[in-house]
Amino acid sequence: MKEVYSGIFLIVEKAKFRPSDNIFVLAGINGIIFDSGYGNKKLVKQFLDEFQDIEEHYKKQNKEFKITRIIVSHAHSDHFSGLNAISSKLGLKIVLTKEIASKIKDEVSFNTSFQADDYEHNLRIKKNILRRIWQLIRNMGEGFLYKRIFGLSYINKPDKIVGENSEIIINGEKWRILSSPGHSPEHISLYNERKGVIFSGDNVLNMRSTWLGPPESNIEDYLGTIRQYQNLPKLELILPAHGDIIINPKETLSAILKRMKEREEQLLNAINHHSNKGLSPENLMKIIYPKEKRITTIIARDWVVLMLKNMEIKGIIRRQIKKKRILFFPIEKH
């Protein structure tokens, strides 16, 4: 564990085969844990050991240490799976927004949230076997595999429901629960104006882009969330759900917006350049990621499909189906 801000501790769950997960402990007289990481035994134990270190650290200084609640940023399995195990071991109340609670209440609700929409189905390459396996795993709601390896478990009855954009008192101080959709629709952040600190979940990561893809993500929502962060009255520290903490919020946020804009332009340029024959999503992938390895391509593909969806909705590009292939063309400005 590491104290990343006075009274805020970071515990990193070091998962195998998956990105490490950040869990934050807001220590004090009526504290809270933000995000719950993976739920498998080994990682929960690692978390509890480090949690105990924080407790001892407080006791040594004769400071009161009482954590009463746990809340999560969004309904992805790497962030809520530990809820049951951690809350029962530490006697914490589970606090969720209505939106998150409804997604993680049982397997059916969770799986439904990952089901591909029509748009996604239409654009998938049917022949790509790797893609199909990936889809199958996703459609199983990360089910069986995740239950075994990552300790996925559902919360059918949280102890308290809080509203998006409401306030919550943590250690005697007001924090705001910001609705921050984009990466996923139910995503929230936790913000304290006096400290200038925000827990950004998966929306902002240090030095790399977060995953954005169908059916969960929405680009316009995501841009709105990043702008909302930019417009906060005071922001000095971003505490993300993976990787290093962010001490230069302004630069990081504007770099995200810049990158998103550049990527859209890149796609649009390619489509404009091939306006006579049109481009399929596969063509676009080859143009934009000519040298990527396969697994990166899958993630990149999610991103490209999402971008195309957004550009089509915005009326910048249009599709045409030729011999069962979807091709994209620019829409000429008049």
Rounded CA-CA distance 96/98 in Å is 6
How many Cα atoms occupy the beta-carbon half-sphere of 30 within 13 Å?
8
Distances (CA, A) of 213 to 68, 187, 241: 35, 14, 18
- Closest contact distance (angstroms) between CB of 101 and Zn ion is 17
Q: Is the peptide bond before 215 cis (omega within 30 degrees of 0)?
A: yes
Q: Rank residues 76 and 147 by Cβ distance to Zn ion and give the closer one.
A: 76
Q: Rank residues 270 and 298 by Cβ distance to Zn ion and give the closer one.
A: 298
- β-pair partners for 321: 326
- Closest contact distance (angstroms) between CB of 74 and Zn ion is 6
**Interface with Zn ion by CB under 5 A: which residues?**
76, 202
User: What residues contact 237, with CB distance under 8 A and at least 6 apart?
Assistant: 4, 5, 195, 196, 197, 198, 245, 246, 247, 249
Q: Rank residues 239 and 271 by Cβ distance to Zn ion and give the closer one.
A: 239
- Closest contact distance (angstroms) between CB of 188 and Zn ion is 12
Q: Rank residues 73 and 310 by Cβ distance to Zn ion and give the closer one.
A: 73
- Closest contact distance (angstroms) between CB of 274 and Zn ion is 34
- Closest contact distance (angstroms) between CB of 201 and Zn ion is 7
- Closest contact distance (angstroms) between CB of 289 and Zn ion is 22
Q: Rank residues 50 and 186 by Cβ distance to Zn ion and give the closer one.
A: 186
- β-pair partners for 333: none
Distances (CA, A) of 3 to 23, 58, 67, 202, 279: 12, 12, 16, 20, 50
Rounded CA-CA distance 78/110 in Å is 13
Rounded CA-CA distance 78/308 in Å is 27
- The structure tokens listed for 156 are 């059918």
Q: Rank residues 204 and 253 by Cβ distance to Zn ion and give the closer one.
A: 204
Rounded CA-CA distance 35/25 in Å is 9
Q: Rank residues 99 and 202 by Cβ distance to Zn ion and give the closer one.
A: 202
- Closest contact distance (angstroms) between CB of 164 and Zn ion is 17
Minimal CB distance residue for Zn ion: 76
